[in-house]
Amino acid sequence: MIYAAIGVIIGIIVGIILPFTYSVTYSLYISVAILACLDSIFGGIRANLEGNFDLNIFISGFFGNAILAAFLAYMGDRLGVPLYYAAIFTFGGRLFENFAIIRRILIKGRSKKVKDDQD
């Protein structure tokens, strides 16, 4: 867990020191790829809290989901069909579902700890 926090802090510092900009043309692809990555991160947090986290599954899902989402957006752009909506609905829905489960796990864990401390 400490490595994740260190990675986030390093990422923020690098982002502040070396701001990266990209063309507006790619904003749709990057936004759905970021959404897919966030879905993988929340899924990894959920799996960790449930005790069944697997780093290989996390890494493959992180990059695989991002590439698939960007590819859907690209293909939809080429075909003139908004296929990126599929990525938005799928990854957005799973993101909120994972967040809800994470929240429930943390609240139940906290209330159990409080109950145990009272006994």
Tell me how far apart the alpha carbons of residues 113 and 119 are, in angstroms, rounded to a whole number: 10
pTM summary value? 0.75
pLDDT score for 21 = 79
Residue 100 token pair: 């809800």
- Average confidence score pLDDT of the chain: 86
Tell me how far apart the alpha carbons of residues 72 and 110 are, in angstroms, rounded to a whole number: 40
For residue 5, being part of any structural domain is answered with no
For residue 17, being part of any structural domain is answered with no
Predicted confidence band of residue 3 (pLDDT cuts 50, 70, 90): confident
For residue 113, being part of any structural domain is answered with yes
pLDDT score for 115 = 64
Tell me how far apart the alpha carbons of residues 55 and 64 are, in angstroms, rounded to a whole number: 14
For residue 83, being part of any structural domain is answered with yes
For residue 98, being part of any structural domain is answered with yes
What is the crossing angle of helices 84-118 and 27-50, to 10°?
A: 30
For residue 41, being part of any structural domain is answered with yes
For residue 12, being part of any structural domain is answered with no
Predicted confidence band of residue 28 (pLDDT cuts 50, 70, 90): confident
Predicted confidence band of residue 114 (pLDDT cuts 50, 70, 90): low
How many folded domains does the chain comprise? 1
Which domain does 91 fall in, by range? 27-118
